[in-house]
Structure 1
Amino acid sequence: MYGLRARLRALFHGKSELDEELQFHLEQAVQAMREAGMDEAEARRKAMIEFGGVERTREETYRQWPGWILDNCMQDLRYALRGFRRSPVFAVTAIATLTLGIGATTAVLSVIDPILFRSLPYAHADQLVSVGLTAPIIPDEFMLGGSYYVWRDNQRPFTSFTSETGVDECDLTEHNPARLNCAHVEGNFLSVLGIVPSLGRNFLPEEDKPNGPKVALISYRLWRSRYASNPAVIDKLIDIDGTATRIVGVLPQGFEMPALEPADILLPQVLNEAEQRKADPGRVMYAYARLKPGITMEQAAQSLQPLFQYSLKLVPPAFQKEVHLRVRSVRDRQMQHVRLTAWILFGAVLAVFMIACANVAGLMLARAAARERELAVRSALGASRGQLVQQTMIEAALLSLIAAIAGWALAAILLHLFVAISPAAMPFLDKAHLDIRIAAATLILTACCAIGLGVLASLHRPRALSLMMRGSPFGAQALLRRMMMVAQIAISMVLLTASALLVRSFWNLQNQNLGLTPTGVVTASIELGQQGYNTGQKQMQFFLQAETALRRLPGVTAVGMSDTLPPAGGHHESILHVMAVQGKPSAGISEGTGGMVAWRWVTPDYFKVLSIPFVAGRNFTEAERTGTEHEMIVSQLLADLLFPGSDSVQKALGQQVRPSPNEPWYTIVGVVGNVRNSGLANADEPEYYRLSRSAPDDWRRSGVLILATSTPPHALVPWVRSEIARIDPVTPVEIEALSERVGKLADRPRFEAALLSFFALAGLGMALIGLYGLVAYIAERRTSEIGVRMALGADRGDVLRLIAWEGMRLVVLGGALGLAASLASAILLRHLLFQVGPYDPAVFIGVSVLLCLVAFAAILAPARKAMRVEPVVALRCE
């Protein structure tokens, strides 16, 4: 080798003549470079520069190295572009594969960034915590007015302490009335969160006291949409629920409540502190605090134990075991329901990205093997290992850069699609966008991809020219491709298993028995304004008038009413322990709350409209609506709890039940089937129904009119809206088919299943393409062997089995590894599944069979092509 290089250098300097052998090798080198896209003059010039035609001293090289490196890189870049032009199938396939991987990863990063990584819009958000008690009656931590102020005055781990009492609907009753969301907060609420109004000021201490000045802060969105961003809005008087209220400030853009409730207006909660301190238990409040520097949440919880024990003494002894202290970050409170989904999507898209990179790495290794002749000649002529690696790295970087640009465009499309199909339960998803942070993450992904591809492709070391001429096999490169193929199959197995579990869970959720029939039912939800309907008499008159008007609509067969509607989960709740059955203390519950009991106000046609079956007894009657008797209908589940035994339904009829100590006794007149009343995925709660009589005390400002119709529900919507407008043109009404209302409850699991299935299918598709290419490459490299086998008597079926087994053993090995990984990781999905276990045998068996079938289909095409090779042609290749 060194003798050949020295003789060529001597030739280039005119010191000797070429013999036939050198002439042959030189022409081979020039031909290889020309086949790679370089013209003859440039090929000879490059040989002179690399192998001695242009000599530089070490000092000259160091002096000129910046320009030399730039020229060298630009030359390699042009060489790479010409190579891609001569191999367009390779270039397009590699760029398309990387584009999908980078684009999907970038889009998902923009979605999960605000959920997992982006700081909250509060000053020093890592110091903000949510503090309170947990109990079965309220899902999130809360405080009660009877002890909140004791905690605020005596706590030690926090620099500040504040509260809010929730968000309620309110009416802006000035010109152009509007229904808004008003949040009621303590006076120091914004200062504790570290928020300064963008215009105006914060609340003053005297404004958070009873009979104080009526003031409000409005949201930035409301300021822009309703008041055209006019600074003169400060000190403007507006009517909120009929009360003149002065605007004192505008909240900053992007403000959000710590529990993510939508809030258009902030109002002081104006609680009477002295009365709350004496109350038992007092107003329900939600508390937030700011940790002192150096104090952790665990230390804060430990420091609050004396105060927790004080509050625990105010809880009835039977309930104390079910009450706990909780201190957690505001981010944990906000993201508790979506954090797991975000991490799963992040893991899934990274798996797809890894499959894409492995696929392109396999393509580059195959291309390096195809260019082995060219690389061997260049190495023989003096090209260093570093120069060959540099060429490979530049090719990988160029592919990655082009894919990153195309991936950014694909990410914008995918992000728009994700937002379009996303449920409202995914916080911040509507705010997800591609910004400088995501661009930086994309650049890091691209750099990692380029480096990884370049390093893997550089592992292919060109053989010596003499060995290459003899065509000896290259085993290490083939082994590396096989290993990457096994990894792709294993990752695809994990993604397919996870998506199959979520799809089956979603199917179970969609097709479960709700206990009611949502088809052919239209709902009209109404929230009456506080100013015009401030008495029970006015509220009752509105709903009774609306009921009468809607009964006259064509196609309407029945009209029922309720203050809440299943299965969304909105209903009244009470504690089973406080219910009393005549002759039995505390409904037979000796310890604990016994769980929660749901209840609603309904009219007699409620059960008919929703097709809720009666198990025993009777329905309410229209005559009873004008009576004074107290009667109730209970669900079968509540009857079983109150009257245990095989004949619980019959024993329940006629029994006297008191829902709480301050209420009258009710007679059970009927038992109905159980209805999904806490959402689609949660367990049913026992339930009872009270009759909405023609008495003001039985009516509230909110209600739902439920219509059974024989006409298409959408055709009825304008008629219902028109009838409500005749009664009160300014009262808003939300009309929709009950089937659509129920379908929205499955939006989140549908989104999770669809997104993960998309990534699983994308990963599987890329893995199958890679498997097809690998098997085709193996078949091509074994052409000579196939010819020998067929010449010695092997038939075409033997050849088919030989090549097919080459691919299937990779599938079996990758599937086995993927199955083990799926079993190990499936437990992470258990909180997202409904009526299906994380180790469901049907899912794992089905996915395994599917993977084998589609993999075999990908292997079959190149195997059949190898089977049709003629022995004479194969031996001629040898």
Structure 2
Amino acid sequence: MNNVRQDLKYSLRQLLRAKVFTAAAVLTVCLGIGCNTAIFSVVYAVLIRPLPFPAADRLVLIYEQAAKFPTLSASFQNYRDWKAQSTSFEEFGAVRPVTVSLTGMGEPEQIPAEMISGNLLHLLGVDVVTGRGLGEADDKPASPAVALLGYGMWQRKFGASQGALGQSIKLNGQAYTVVGVLPRDYEMLQQRPDAVIAMAPWAATLPDDRSWHPGIFPVARLRNGVSLAAAQSEMSGIAKRLLKQYPTDNIALDAQVKGMHEQLVSSSRTVLIMLSVAVGFVLLIACGNVANLLLTRAAARRREITIRRSLGATTWALVRQLLIEGLVLSGMGALIGIGVAYALLPWLVRQAGSALPPNTPVQINLPVLLCTAALSIAAGVLFGMAPAGQVQNLDLRGILSETDRGTVSRGSRMLRDALVIAEISLALLLLVGAGLFLRSLSQLANVQLGFAEDHLLVADLPVGAQYKEGAAAPMNFYENAIRELARLPGVSAVGAASFLPVNGNGSMLHFNIEGRPPHNASEYILANYRAVSGGYKDALRLPLTEGRWVTDADREGSPAVVVINQTMARTFFPGQDPLGKRMQVGAIPDATVPWMTIVGVVGDVKQSLVADSASEMYVPYRQANVVLPVRTMSVVVRTAYDPHVVAAALTDAVHRVDANQPVVRIRTMEENVAQNFAAPRFRSLLLSIFAGIALVIACVGIYGVMAYSTLQRTTEMAIRMALGCSTSKVFLMVIKDGLRKIAYGVVIGLALGLVLARSVKSLLFGVSTTDSVTLAVSISLIAATGMLACVIPAIRAARVPIVETIREN
């Protein structure tokens, strides 16, 4: 222990003496470990952090698998039969995430909520903070309306008071009695609800139709000893039996049993693993650079080490000294790096925005710090072992007699060259990755949306239970709201739709065409569905290619009409004029459902930036209730000036129609579209930063190796020039040596890139993994940077004082 203490003191003295070297090494380690700590904090919070339920590894989610939907929420009828017939699970429940209007407690607002089966909290092992939970008695069609408060809402609206129990709250206009409060960390399907109610009263209103998928997600807990594969086998058998039993309306070809945690993080896993690998490369480049610095420094300390060896120091003592120096460097870098990570993390989370799952508690906690400590120790060992190999190969007599002029062994030189080549190859990988994602982001930004997004203000208006489903009252509200908004100064057009474009969401409905009924389920056809107002086309400036748009005259009691997009016209009416053709919502003809006449064709509108335009139908909102009840519409207001100016007036106009109507998420259409760029922008930004750091570190590494190599060859250079070699040839000789290393690094980097390309292919849009522009720019950048790093050593080599150098040697 005394020896270690002495080595530690000696190492600190040596490092303090070499201030420039120490600062460069610590800064390099700090960048590598700081970036890794910040990214691992995100990775831990999203991918590794366990779910807040006991024995969460046995919790599963169960989905339907349909012909066109490999992962689909369950119909209520299938969920009910799965629960009754399965034996692989201890308990079987369900959850339905929803948003509801909260009124009577200040400003009306839209809050996240859940409908759950009566046994779900018991299944999950959740205990309420106060009061009681929901049980089977609450989950019956005629049960009293009771609700649980989310912890956040309990604090926000009731000041965390016990007096909240027994209070009444209005959700969608219906009164619910508060009976309990959920724990702070309760979260289902990446949503922390403000209110939870029983599912059965709502489910009793559903049609007896297994093709109806209202967003029910079955949740189950595996029995002890039952594997996921065994549960999957049983559920597949049940799903196939139900398909045979209900062939006309059941579209579930199979059931998919997935681990809950694995399923919830699946959308984020690829991106975060890619970022982890990228930031790992930054750390490897940093470690390689510091190892190179230590190798150079060890060569300069050969005489010191030799004297210690001649005075009796053992090989292990010298190696231990070098290891401790490496650990001190990595430790100092790690401590500063943790500080950098603390400062970086809030910025990182802000930049991520909606690219991260909501409510993700990203923080630097004990697991993250343990990972940082492990990285620091590994880096320290690497730093110490890199120069330790020189200790056993010292020529004691030559060094002490000064006949050894600091020549470097072939092995040491090859190690330094290998480290630089590795830095170049990894830096090139990061540059190519950043380039591909920046090109992909540029392609996304240039996607033609199919409408004019400028000068548009949008807001969501979800109606409550005060407007009964199927009645004209909700449509009257929307009609009056649109009329009121149209009166606002500076407003040129107002429209409304059940789903806005670009968000990637909406209703997909089966439909059938008159005279072309499907023969079996495999012939069922689907299209996107939008309920719209007459002003929607003018507000978005949609191009009308045939016929007419829907009008305010298309309402209850008038003939049912529909407008389709060009993709739907081409797909289902190839070579025909679709105008006048009739279609009906529903997989098979139904005498109780009205036939809609196609009256117009409009241009395609992007519903998702990364997907091709799909078939789409637009139904007049006043006729929509006979097809699919509309409970939420979004208004679209086109203004003559900055849309933000109209925001306050929009809310006032809606509240003049209904003072209890929540106005949710007022934003411009440009802001609405920009939300879709959060994930690609986040990964492009981080990869660009990592690539920039890697490029700088690699440049420093190239410079260090070339400068030291030139220094070691000073005598050789002087002799060459004394024998007639020109300074330009000496200059080019050094440049060529550097370019050789760069070329090796580029070749290895490209080879690694081809191997890793498949893993990021799914994250790119409109760009090939072998995009020639990206590769050319990345290679040119790494070559130019490397050349720049070689120039100064080459100039020094060409200016070697011939006479003085030869005389000294």
In the TM superposition, residue 105 of structure 1 has moved relative to its aligned partner by: 0.7
Letter in 2 for 1:182: A
Q: What is the aligned partner in structure 2 of residue 715 from structure 1?
A: 645
1:834 paired residue among 758, 761, 765 = 765
| CA offsets 1:248-289 (integer angstroms, 9 cap, x no match) | 2211111101x2234111111125999989765677532111
- Where relative contact order (Cα < 8 A, 6+ residues apart) is larger, the structure is 2
CA distance in 2, matches of 1:315, 1:507: 48
Distance 1:693 1:238, change over 3 A: closer
Normalised by the length of structure 1, the TM-score is 0.86
State which structure, 1 or 2, has the greater radius of gyration over its C-alpha atoms: 1
Distance 2:487 2:807 in 1: 90
Note the residue ranges of structure 2 that are not aligned, 5 or more in a row: none
**Which stretch shifts more, 543-552 or 483-492?**
543-552
Given candidates 346, 354, 360, the residue that maps to 1:424 is 354
Secondary structure in structure 2 of the residue aligned to 1:837:
coil
Per-residue CA deviation, residues 494-551 of structure 1 (Å, 9 max, x unaligned), is 2222222222111111111111121122213222332367774332333223222322
The aligned counterpart of 1:194 is: 125
Change (3 A) 1:146 1:716: closer
Which among 280, 291, 311 is matched to residue 242 of structure 2?
311
Q: Secondary structure at the match of 1:763?
A: helix
- Within the candidate set 285, 297, 316, 1:386 is matched to 316
- Does structure 2 conserve the Cα–Cα contact (< 8 Å) formed by 1:146 and 1:277? no
Are 2:286 and 1:356 aligned? yes
Instruction: Note the residue ranges of structure 1 that are not aligned, 5 or more in a row.
Output: 1-68
Question: How do 1:792-871 residues align onto structure 2 when only pairs under 5 Å count?
Answer: 792-871=723-802
CA distance in 2, matches of 1:701, 1:354: 54
Please tell me the residue identity of whatever aligns with 2:633.
G
- TM-aligned CA distance change 1:204 to 1:306, over 3 Å: same
| 3-state SS of paired residue (2:583) | strand
The equivalences for 1:605-644 within 5 A come to 605-624=535-554, 628-644=558-574
Maintained 8 Å contact 1:147/1:277: no
In structure 2, the residue matched to 1:769 is 700
Q: Aligned partners of 1:833, 1:695: CA distance in 2, in Å?
A: 38
Partners of 1:414 and 1:237 in 2: CA distance: 44
Question: How much does 1:453 deviate?
Answer: 1.0
Alignment of 1:98 with 2:29, yes or no, is yes
- Which is further off, 508-517 or 861-870? 861-870
Q: Which residue of 1 is the match for residue 431 of structure 2?
A: 496
Match of 2:459 in 1: 524
SS in 2 for 1:629: coil
1:655 aligns with 2:590: no
Structure 1 residue 135, shift from structure 2 partner? 2.0
Stretch of structure 1 that moved more, 502-511 or 554-563: 554-563
Question: Aligned partners of 2:201 and 2:13: how far apart in 1?
Answer: 77
- State which of 460, 473, 483 in structure 1 corresponds to 2:407: 473
Match of 2:225 among 294, 297, 304: 294
Report the 3-state secondary structure (helix = DSSP H, G, I; strand = E; otherwise coil) of the residue aligned with 2:530: strand
Do the aligned partners of 1:146 and 1:283 also contact (CA within 8 Å) in 2?
no
- Tell me how far apart the structure 2 counterparts of residues 305 and 735 of structure 1 sit (CA, whole Å): 44
Asked whether the equivalents of residues 276 and 283 of structure 1 are also in contact (C-alpha less than 8 Å), the reply is: no
Percent identical among aligned pairs is 30
Check 1:243–1:559 CA distance in 2 against 1; reply closer, same or farther (3 A cut): closer
Residue in structure 2 matched with residue 440 of structure 1 by the alignment: 370
Supply the AA of the counterpart residue of 2:40: L
Aligned partner (choices 476, 496, 500) of residue 561 of structure 1: 496
Distance in 1 between the 2:540 and 2:224 partners? Answer: 56
C-alpha separation in 2, matches of 1:700 and 1:249? 31
Q: Which residue of 2 aligns with 1:8?
A: none
Q: CA deviation at 1:597?
A: 0.5
What residue number does 1:19 align with? none
Q: Which amino acid aligns with 1:525?
A: D
Deviation at 1:452, TM superposition (A): 1.5
Match of 2:517 in 1: 585
Aligned residues of 1:784 and 1:877 also touching (Cα < 8 A): no
- 1:454-482 superposed Cα distances (whole Å, 9 cap, x missing partner): 11121222623432211152222221111
Alignment of 1:331-350 (within 5 A): 331-350=261-280
Aligned counterparts of 1:614 and 1:488: Cα–Cα separation in 2: 56
| C-alpha contact (below 8 Å) 2:186/2:192 kept by paired residues | no
Distance 1:466 1:524, change over 3 A: same
C-alpha contact 1:627 1:693 (8 A) present in aligned 2: no
CA contact (8 A) 1:506 1:750 kept: yes
Residue matched to 1:396: 326
Within 2, Cα distance between the matches of 1:455 and 1:429? 43
Question: How many residue pairs were aligned?
Answer: 797
Q: 1:485 maps to what in 2?
A: 420
Letter of the aligned partner of 1:688 in structure 2? M
What do the CA deviations read for 1:572-605 (whole angstroms, capped 9, x no partner)?
3212xx3213x4334xx98725653012122233
The C-alpha deviation readout for 1:405-436, integer Å capped at 9, x for no partner, is: 10111011221111111132422674110111
What secondary structure sits across from 2:92 in the alignment?
strand
Gap change, CA 1:594 and 1:478, over 3 Å in 2:
farther
Q: Which moved more, 1:186-195 or 1:296-305?
A: 296-305
Structure 1 position 797, deviation (Å)? 1.5
Distance change >3 Å, CA 712–CA 232, structure 1 → 2: closer
Q: Is the 8 A contact 2:453 2:669 kept in 1?
A: yes
- Tell me, yes or no, if the aligned pair for 2:171 and 2:464 is still in contact at 8 Å: no
Q: Is 1:217 aligned with 2:143?
A: no
For residues 710 and 200 of structure 1, do their structure 2 counterparts lie closer, same or farther at Cα, with a shift above 3 Å needed? same
Structure 1 residue 89: deviation in Å?
0.8
Q: Give the letter aligned to residue 221 of structure 2.
A: R
Q: Quote the residue 1:683 is aligned against.
A: 612
What is aligned with 2:527? 597
Which residue number corresponds to residue 446 of structure 2? 511
Q: Distance in 2 between matches of 1:604 and 1:798?
A: 78
Q: Which AA in structure 1 matches 2:462?
A: E
Relative distance call for 1:335 and 1:593 in structure 2 (3 A) is farther
Kindly indicate whether the alpha-carbon contact (under 8 Å) linking 1:546 and 1:727 is maintained by their aligned counterparts in 2: yes
Q: 1:230 and 1:541 mapped to 2: Cα distance?
A: 39
Alpha-carbon separation, structure 1, partners of 2:199 and 2:113 = 11
- The alignment status of 1:249 with 2:180, answered yes or no, reads yes
